[in-house]
Amino acid sequence: MTTTDPLVVMETTKGTIKVRIYVNDAPITSTNYLDLVQRGFYNGLTFHRYEPGFCIQGGDPTGTGSGGSGKTIKLEVDKSNPKLRHDKAGVLAMARSNNPDSASCQFYFTLGAADFLDGNYAVFGRVEEGLDVVQALRAGDKMTKVSVLETAAR
In a domain, 49, yes or no: yes
Q: Which residue has the higher pLDDT, 152 or 17?
A: 17
In a domain, 108, yes or no: yes
In a domain, 1, yes or no: no
- Closest Cα partner for 130 from 5, 4, 49, 11? 11
DSSP conformational letter for 105: S
Residue 128 sits in a domain whose CATH number is 2.40.100.10
Count structural domains, the chain. 1
- In terms of residue numbers, what domain contains 34? 7-149
pTM of the model: 0.95
User: Tens digit of pLDDT for each residue in 1-15?
Assistant: 457 899 999 999 999
pLDDT of residue 154: 42
User: Tens digit of pLDDT for each residue in 122-150?
Assistant: 999 999 999 999 999 999 999 999 999 86
In a domain, 2, yes or no: no
- Closest Cα partner for 36 from 90, 72, 76? 72
In a domain, 101, yes or no: yes
User: Tens digit of pLDDT for each residue in 25-74?
Assistant: 999 999 999 999 999 999 999 999 999 999 999 999 999 999 999 999 99
Query: Which amino acid is it at 148?
Result: V
